[in-house]
Chains A and B, each alone.
Chain A
Amino acid sequence: MSNIRLRRATAVWFLALYLLIGVPVWYKLTTIHRAPLPAEYIESLYKGNNHDVHMVIPVYIMSKTFKFPDLHDAVQLQVNHMLQNKERYVNWSLQVLPYPEDGSVDLHNEYVVILENDESPGFVIPSDGRKTILFHNLDNVLHNDLPFFVSQSLVEHTFQLEWNRLNKKYTSGVDSNRVKNMAIEYNPNVHLSISLLSGDGNPVSWEIEHVALKYLTPLRQFLSPLVNFTIDTNIIYFNDLNLHHLKNRSLLSQQDLSQTIDLSELSSANYYEEQNCLHLAIVFPSNSTGSLPFINSDKHWNSFLVPQWGTLIINDEPLPENPYLSEDYLAPVMHKFSNELLQLLGFTEDSEGLSSPVITLDSFKRLTILNNLNHSINTLWSLVKMTSNLPQMTIPIDVLTNVKDALDLRLETIEMLNNPAKQNSHEVWNDALIKSNKLVYLCEKAFFHKEMVQQMFLPQEHKVAVYLPLLGPISIVTIAGFLKIWREQDSESDDDTSTEEGASKEKMQ
C-alpha cells in the first residue's frame, strides 16, 4: 500500500497555500500604506533646474517724436542677444511690443519705454511708475544706436535686480561685510516687534504712536503686496541686554558685542502667530552702568544689524530723569530701521541701489515667485528622497493630494509667468506671488505631515516579534515537512518494494 503520492501532494498543497496565499496575505496585511508619489516627475523637475520656466516680461515702446515701426523687433533681437550671453539660473526674457496707438495699455501699470528727442542721450527712471524715459538725438537714430540703448537701459537698469540676481555667478545673501544670510526666509506675514529697553525701572514715555503712523505706515503700505506686517511696540524695564558687562569698555570688537548682548528674552517671545519676527530694540544702559564709551557717535547711539533678527540701537548714556523720547529722537532710528528692514527682508542688498521703488518691488515679487518655485521643488524632492530612504515610512493619501495640488499650482504659476500678456501684466505678478506662496505652503504641509513621522516609531522588529510565535512554528512545520516528504521518496520506494516482496513471499508460503 503506497500513499506517498497523496501525502506528497498534500505537502505540496500546504506549501503552495503557504507561499501563494499565506505570504501575500501576511504581507498585504502588515505593510504600511504608501501613496504613490510622482517621484520621477519631481526628480526631473529638480534635476531639470526650472527647465519649464521661461519668464516673460512685456515691455512697450512708445516714441513721442518719431515713429519707428520696426524698432521693437530690433530691440527684441538685441535684448535676446544680451540675455543669451549671460548664464542664468532661470530663463527669462523681455517681450518688446510697440505701444498700441489706441492707448489700450495703461501707461502707469505696464513697463513702457518712452523715447524722447533731446540734445544728448540718456535715460531716467521716474520713481512713481514703471516708465523708462530714454532721451536720444538725431545722430543716435542715424547711427542705429537706439535698439542697443533701449535694450541696455531695460536689461541693465530697469530690470537690474533680475539681471543681477538671476545671474549664475551671483551669490545670494552675502553683503559687503561678508555677512551671510542676512535676510530671513521669505514669508508673506512678518511680525515686527519694537522694544524700548531700559536698565532701570524709571518710567519712560515715547512718541511711538505718532512716529509709527508717520514712518512705518507708508512702508507697510508700500510693501503690502509682498509682506503683511503686524507691529507691536513695548517698553521693557530692568533689561539692558547685558550691557552692564560692557561697563567702561572703550574699545569693543564685534565679537565682544555679539558674545555679550543677550537677545534671548526678546527672541524667545512666541506669542505672535506669524512665523517670522523682526525686531527693533532701542536699549539704554542702567544708571549703575553709566555711560558706554564704546559708542562714539554724535547722535549718542550706534546701530547694529543682527542677521535674521533685526536692528539693535545702543545708546551711550542712561536715560535722564523722567525721560521722554520725542519724534526728533525716534525719526532717525526709524529711518535706520526701515532701511535695514529692507535688507533683513532680502529686498535689497548692500551693493544694490534702487531705481524706482515700484519697479524694484515688481522685480522682487518676480524673484520671490522664482524662489518659491525653487523652494517648493526642493521641498518635494526632499520628500521623495526621504520616503525612498525610509521604506517603513507611511505615505498618507493627504500627502499625495497635497503634492498633486502643489504640482498643478506650480504649472499654473509657471503658465502665468510664461504668458503674462494674457492678463494685465501688473496683476500677474501679484496673483502669481499669491499662488506661489500657497504652493510653498502646500509643499511644506506635505513634507511635515504628522503621520509620516509618527510611523517611524513602530519599528520593523516589533512586527517580527508579534508574528514570530505564530509564523515560526507554521513555517518550520510546513517547510521541514515538505522537505522530509520530498526526501522520503527513495527510501519509501525501496520500502514499498521490500514490503511488496515480503507480502508476495507470505502469499507464496
Chain B
Amino acid sequence: MWLTLTHGLIFLNLFKISVQLQNIDTNSFTDIENDYKYDSVESSLRYDDDRVNIGSQGYLKPIKNEVMSDLDNNKRVGLFSMEKPTKYPFKEHLELRPLPKNSLLSSFQFHLSSNEFSIDKSDRSNNQYSHYTVFPRSISPLMDNTNTRQVHLRFTHGIWDHENWGRLPHDGRKSGGSGVELWAVIEASDHNTAFDQWVKLSNMLSGLFCASINFIDSAKTTYPMSSFQPGDGEEIPLFNASNKLYLLRGALANEPVCTENMAPFIKLLPTKGRQGISTLLDGHKIFDSQWHSLSIDVTTVCESNSCHYEMEEFINVAINVPTTLARSVRPIPKPVDGSELRCDNSKHYDAWTCFPLPESIEGKYELSKIFGKYIMGSNSLSGYPTQTCVQVSDNWKALVKVDGSYFSTDNNCFDVKGEDWHDIYLETDDTTQVDPVKASPVYVTRSLTGYSQDKGGLRAVFKNPTSEPVELVYFESLPWYMNLYLSTLKIESKSGLKISDVIQSTYYLPAKDRERPTHLEYRMTIPANSTFALSYQFDKSLLKYAEYPPDANHGFEIESAVVTVISPVKYEFRTATLLLTLSTPDFSMPYNVIILTSTAMGFIFGTLFNMLVKRVVTVQEADKAMTATGLRGRFLVIKEKLVKMFKRPKPKSE
C-alpha cells in the first residue's frame, strides 16, 4: 500500500545553483530567470506490514519550466555586437635604428596594464575575484603571493659595441649584465621575511621563464644601497603601513639565454605572436644577433585604495644586417660562389686570385628578410594602433610596404592598420652615415689580473672622454670565494689622481662564506678627460669537494659590475662578466688518499700482528725447520748432495 502526499512548496532559494543538483538535461535551459522550482516534494513512505525493505525512488523530481524562449532560435542569447570595439590597456611599438657598421637595432616595446584591484587584502571574502583581460594571468599571483611591489627581470647576451654604437637603448634602463639579472622591491615586516619572499619569487619566475633563476640564493643576493633605485617621482605603494620595503638584487652571470626563455615572453602578450609586431619575434633571428636583451618590469601603481599593475616588456636586439641576410640566403654556411665575390680589380685578379674589397657601404633591405616574417596586421586589442618608427639620417630612405605598394611619411613613423601584412623597406647609399648616436658619458672596463692559483686581482679602468666630470655609482657584487682586501685598493693614474679625488663614499659589506657575497658600492666622480684604473687584490678560497660544478675546469663566472651614471645624464650600463679560475682539485684524490692510508695502516697492522703472533726462532732453528719440511728443505738437500758430488773428484791442492 502506497500513499503519496504533497506537502508544501520547497523553493530552494538558499542559492540558485543548488537547485540544479538534480540531473537536469543540458539542453533544457530555456529561461534563465526563473528556471527551476521544485513544485512539490513527493515524499512516499511505505508501510511496514511485512517489514520488508523495498526501497523508494524518485521522491524529488524537478519540474521543467516549459516557458520557451521567445527569441529567435538562430539568434544567440546574450551575445551582442557593440558599436565600437572594446579598448584594452595594451600598447605596442617597434623602433628601428640603423647603427654604424651595418647593424640594426630593433626595439620591440609592449606596455600592458592590469585591472584595478583593491588594496584591502583583509577582505578575503567570497566576493574576491581576479579578472584579467590583456594583462597576463600568471604575473599577478606572482606579485600577490610574494608581496612584491616591483619586479625587474633582464635576460641579456652578446656584446654591445659602446664605442661605435654609443649608449645602450633606453639609456641602459632595459638591459642587464650578460646572463640573467633580477631585482625586486618586496614589502615585508622584516629582513628575513623579505628574503623568504624573494626566494619564493625567484622560484616562481624560474618556472615561468624556464630559467635557472632559482639558483639565486643568499650567496648571490645583495641589498643595493644607491644603485637600482626607483626613478624620480616614482612612488612605490606600501599596502600595510607597518611593513617596510626591501630592495633585493641577484644575478646569474653569463647564464645562457635561449629560445625557451623567449617563448614565455611571447606568451605573456595577449597577441601571442600572432598579430602586430610580436609576429616578428622569432627565436632563430633574435638569438642569432650580436646583442640582445629581453626585459620585463612590473610595477604597482596605486591611487588611494585602488591599485593596478603595469608591465613593460621590451625586447631589444642588435643585428648585423649582412650576416643575417646571408644566413637567410644560405642557411648552411658554404663558400660564396666565385662570381659573387667582390674583388679589387686594381690588384692582381684572375680565376684563382681575388683581393677582397671592403664591405659595401650600400644598403638595401626589408624587415621581412631580416626577421623572416611580416608584421601581420595591427593589434586590434588596444586603442592605440601598432606603430613602427625608423630613426635614420637624411641619406636613408624608409618606406612601409603594404599590399605591394610603398608609402613614406615625414617623421618615418608608420601606423600599422587593418589586417594587411606590413613590411619596412630601408635603403641608403652609405650605411656608415646613420642618425648620430649619443656617445656614452663614461667607459668602464674590468678585468682580472694575476695568474696564481691562490690569489688574484681586479682592475677596473674608468675613462671619461667628455669635458665634464661624471658622477656615478659603481656597484659590484662578488662571490664569497673571492676574499677581497679593500686595503689593497690602489689607483693608477697618469694625471696623478688620488683615491680620495675620485671616490666620494664607499659602501662595503664583506662576504660571509657560503652566506652572502661581497657587496661594494662606490659613489665616484670621474674628472673630465681623465683615465684611471682602480685595482684591488683578493685571495681565492678553496671550495668544498661537493661545491664544484660538474664543469669545474671551465671556471667561475663573475657577474658584471653595474655603473649608474647620475650626472650629467642618467645612464646605466654593465661591464662584461669575468671568468675566474679557482684551483681545481683532482676529484679522484679522496679515494686515492683513502686507499693509500688504508694500505699503510693495513701494512702496519699486519706487521704488528705478525710480530706478536708468529713464533720467533733463531736462524739455525729456522734453517733446521726448513730442512725438515718444505720445498726449500728439499732444495737444500739436493744442493748439498750436488755440492758433495762436485767436491769429491776435485784433488786437494794441499
Contacts and interface: CB of A to CB of B under 8 A. Distances in A.
Interface of A: 3-4, 7, 10-11, 14, 82, 118-128, 133-135, 145, 148-149, 152-153, 156-157, 193, 201-205, 208-209, 212-213, 215-222, 224, 229-235, 237-239, 269-273, 297-300, 302-303, 317, 319-332, 334-336, 338-339, 342, 348, 350, 353-355, 357-358, 360, 465-466, 469-470, 472-474, 477-478, 481, 485, 488, 492, 495, 499
B10 A126 contact: yes
Interface string B6-32: 011011101111101111101101001
Contact of A273 (B84, B141, B614): B141
A477 B606 contact: yes
Interface in B567-602: 591, 594-595, 597-599, 601-602
Interface residues of B, number: 95
B85 interface: yes
Nearest to A351: B23
Given A135-B7, A232-B131, A328 B32 contact: yes
B142 interface: yes
B340 interface: no
B79 A329 contact: yes
A281 B59 CA distance: 35
A157 B59 CA distance: 9
Given A122-B3, A124-B10, A271-B141, A219 B17 contact: yes
Contacts of A220: 126
Interface in B596-643: 597-599, 601-603, 605-606, 609-610, 612-615, 621, 625
A329 B75 CA distance: 11
B32 A203 contact: no
A300 B82 contact: no
B86 A204 contact: yes
A353 B60 contact: yes
A127 B138 contact: no
A271 B204 contact: yes
B208 interface: yes
B32 A335 contact: yes
B137 interface: yes
B311 to A, nearest CB: 14
A119 B208 CA distance: 68
B51 A232 contact: no
B380 interface: yes
Given A127-B12, A335-B29, A322 B86 contact: yes
A478 B77 CA distance: 94
A213 B207 contact: no
Interface of B: 3-5, 7-8, 10-12, 14-18, 20-24, 26-27, 29, 32, 35, 41, 43-48, 51, 53, 55-56, 59-60, 69, 73, 76-88, 126-134, 137-138, 141-142, 145, 204, 207-208, 270-272, 274-275, 379-381, 591, 594-595, 597-599, 601-603, 605-606, 609-610, 612-615, 621, 625
Given A201-B271, A221-B15, A270-B207, A473 B605 contact: yes
Given A122-B7, A222-B18, A332-B29, A233 B130 contact: yes
Contacts of A478: 609
Contacts of A466: 591, 594
A215 B275 contact: no
B5 A135 contact: yes
Given A324-B79, A329-B78, A123 B60 contact: no
B77 A232 contact: no
A2 to B, nearest CB: 9
B602 to A, nearest CB: 3
Residue picked from A127, A213, A224, A348, most chain B C-beta under 10 Å: A127
Contacts of B59: 157
A153 B45 contact: yes
A66 B23 CA distance: 39
Given A148-B51, A201-B274, A235 B133 contact: yes
Name the 5 nearest CB pairs between A and B, nearest first. A329-B78, A473-B602, A328-B78, A469-B598, A218-B15
